[in-house]
Structures are given as structure tokens and as C-alpha cells.
Amino acid sequence: MKRFYWVLALAALIAPLAGSSQVRVVKSMNEVSLLDMGMFKSLSDGAPALFRRILETDLTRSEYFKIVNGLRAEYALLGNATLEGSSLIVRCEAYNVISKERYLSKTFKASEDEARKLAHQVADEIVMALTGRPGMASSRLALVGNRTGYKELYLCDADGQNLRQLTFDKTLSLAPKWGPDGRQMVYTSYRSQFPDVYLITLGNNSWKGKCIANFPGLNACAAISPDGREVALTLSKDGNPDLFIMKISSRRLTRLTATKRAGEASPSWSPDGRQIVFVSDRSGSPQLYIMDRDGGEPKRITSAGSQNVDPDWGANGFIAYSSLIGSLFQVFVLNPATLAIQQITPEDASYEDPSWAPDGRHLACARTQRYHSRIIIVDMISRSCISLLPDSATGDWSSVNWSPR
């Protein structure tokens, strides 16, 4: 079933990722700054110690910083993490060691049992303050795992911790995609014995779901629009798998494609919601195309390779996708303005289903080797690859999708 969501690729070089106009540091993204945490104090045990440990891990995983203690560094953190009753109080200042310019001065408060969550929040604020770019520590990932014998949806934090099962459909669950608010997602489930699309709304400790597309035939590959009001999806209710846009509130459909003897799948919205990238085999093999959300003639954007699939159009403006190179899939990044591409995964295994992190420099994807699949985090700049989940997370994992915040 996975291969229904197709692939292709090859060639060239990508323009460097463009930083925000408000980036504070005037340096390239591949430079790692020394960050002195020697003056940030915390208790040696309990919630303050956990907070300190998670904060340091998050800042290191951002790959913008190398943590040092008491050594000469470009930046420094000053402050402390303490307990006041059952509350965790964090006072934090971040400043430039040489210029003494202060970039962050803030007090944070959370309950004692929310030390991990608060550490993720503070890490993201430090990253934004010192680099002008968003962090990823507070985000979550949805993924598909088969550890129960069925393919179910799971959630975990950006560091792979706090893994919990989300669905209990006891059937085949596929292709989770987050909405723009980080509280909703859509996915395909066979709980009715047919592929239907469901919308999940997450609460604090609960969730509720409803079926939003159960037309005759295939209902799959749903992706929520940037304004959260529509989904692009594949329907075969008229015979052929074509792309449609559906209003979530009314289920009113707008057809985008009507391709005879071919199919379309895997839509992904542009950041401004005006365009959609998708996969079609109208040329004889799965390739990537872009079209306006109002319809019109699609433009093919891949021209080499045997298959190109799994597109994800990031908030940074770049499209990540999987391409079949020889017998293995690799992850490429494409600049839709220039069509320049860059391979970012090593050719030691198959890498599929890439999904952008909210920081615009990391990607999550499924790495398959010897018929075993795990989720890998790849840094676009350093090309480092780390496993998302600990080794204790048994089973195969796939179809990962990163929350927007």
C-alpha cells in the first residue's frame, strides 16, 4: 500500500536555505556557536536537574550550539532552575559574551511534573533569541508503528521521548498529516474495511476523531491546508484516483485533476496555500508536479530518476521528497523556484517519507535496512543522522510527520 504514495529524482545543487530578515547572528547556518552554561545553576536532583539536562540536550540537538561550562564562548546563559513548593521556576538570561548584549531575559514557571515540557519551551526561546530562527524542541511527531501487530498512529516529542499510542483501530492506519495549529491531524484508516480519511482533534490528555471522507472507492493522502479550513486528498469515487480539495466544515468538493489512465496522490500545500505539489504517473512513472490550488495545468518539476514520491513542502519554501536511486530510495530537497536539487541522505539504506521540522533545517524520515524500518532525524546542514526513538521502541516505524510547532 505504501508504494501508492509514489517517487522520482536526481541532479544539481540547492541554493542555501535563506534565513529570516530578522536573523540576529550574521553567520552561515553551518557554523556552531559555543554556548557557556556554567553560570546556569540548578539543583542536582528532581525537576530542576531534569530541566537542566533536557535543556542542554535540546540545545545540542538544535545543532546551532556546542555546550561548554566555564570556557570562553560566544554566548552564555545566566540563571537558575529552582523549586518553590510544587512549582518549577526558571530564570534565564542569554547574552553575547563579547558585546554583553542581552538577547533574552525571562522568568518561566510550570508545575513540577512539567519539567520536560518547560525545558523544550525554553530551548526554543533561546534558539530564537540567539539565531532569529525557530526551534524544534517543543514540537511533536506523528508516526505509524506496528508494535501491537497492527499499524497504529503514535505520538512522541521531538527528542523521541514520551512515545504514546494514539489510535486503537486494530487495522491499517496510514499517512498522518498535521494541521497548522498542531492540534489537528488527518490520516487514512481501514477501520471500516475500506480506506477512509479521519480528522483527529487533540486535547490535553485526550482526543476525538471523526470520518471526513468515506466516498465510494479510495479516500487517502489527505493534507490540511495552511489555513486549516480545507484538505487536499485523493479520491477514486469516479473511477480514477484524482486530486480534490474538500471544505472540512461542509465536505464540499472541488476537483483538481481528471487524468485518464493515470493517478494522482500525496498532495502537499505550499506555505502560502496557493499551490500544491503532488505525485502523478501521467508520464509513465511517478513524478512530482505543482499546480495552483484553483486548478489549471500542472507543471512537472522532476526530470530525472525512475521514481519521485512523498513530497513535503516546508515552511522554508523547499520541497523534500524521496527518489529511487538504483534499488534504494534517498531523500532529496528541491528549490521550486530554480528546480535545483540536493541529496541529503547517505546511500547506506532506503530513506522515505521525509517531513520538515519547524526549524526548517531538520527532516524526519523512515530508514529501512534489512527489512527493518526506523525513524531518522537528518540535519540539512551537517548531514548528521540520529535515531528518533530509543532502541527499546520495538517494531517498525514509518509515515512520520512533524508538527508545525
Q: How far apart are alpha carbons 395 and 147 in whole angstroms?
A: 5
User: pLDDT tens for residues 348-396?
Assistant: 999 999 999 999 999 999 999 999 999 999 999 999 999 999 888 899 9
In this prediction, residue 10 carries a pLDDT of 22
In this prediction, residue 6 carries a pLDDT of 33
Q: What is the dihedral of CA 297, 299, 300, 302, to 10 degrees?
A: -160
CA distances from 250 to 128, 148, 198, 245, 370 (A): 39, 35, 15, 12, 45
pLDDT classification of 29: cutoffs 50, 70, 90: low
**What percent of the chain lies above the pLDDT cut of 70?**
93
Lowest mean pLDDT among 261-270, 333-342, 388-397: 388-397
In this prediction, residue 70 carries a pLDDT of 81
Question: Residue 11 pLDDT more than 60?
Answer: no
- Pairwise pLDDT comparison (24 vs 184), residue with the higher score: 184
In this prediction, residue 18 carries a pLDDT of 34
User: pLDDT tens for residues 151-173?
Assistant: 999 999 999 999 999 999 999 99
User: pLDDT tens for residues 85-136?
Assistant: 999 999 999 999 999 999 999 999 999 999 999 999 999 999 999 999 999 9
User: pLDDT tens for residues 137-148?
Assistant: 999 999 999 999
Is 303 strand, coil or helix? coil
User: pLDDT tens for residues 193-247?
Assistant: 999 999 999 987 778 899 999 999 999 999 999 999 999 999 999 999 999 999 9
Element at 143 (helix H, strand E) = strand 140-145
Closest CA to 340 of 10, 9, 18, 12: 12
Q: How far apart are alpha carbons 244 and 14 in whole angstroms?
A: 31
The three three-digit cell numbers of residue 311, written as one number: 513530497
Question: Residue 5 pLDDT more than 70?
Answer: no
User: pLDDT tens for residues 32-56?
Assistant: 999 999 999 998 889 999 999 999 9
pLDDT classification of 28: cutoffs 50, 70, 90: low
- What are the structural domains, with CATH classification, of the chain? 2-19+136-402 (2.120.10.30), 33-131 (3.40.50.10070)
pLDDT classification of 12: cutoffs 50, 70, 90: very low
Q: How far apart are alpha carbons 336 and 270 in whole angstroms?
A: 10
pLDDT classification of 340: cutoffs 50, 70, 90: very high
Closest CA to 375 of 346, 403, 352, 404: 352
Q: How far apart are alpha carbons 147 and 391 in whole angstroms?
A: 13
Closest CA to 136 of 126, 145, 148, 146: 126
Instruction: Tell me the residue type at 288.
Output: L
CA distances from 208 to 176, 182, 186, 199 (A): 15, 14, 12, 8
Question: Residue 24 pLDDT more than 60?
Answer: no
Look over the chain and give the mean of its residue pLDDT values, rounded to a whole number: 91
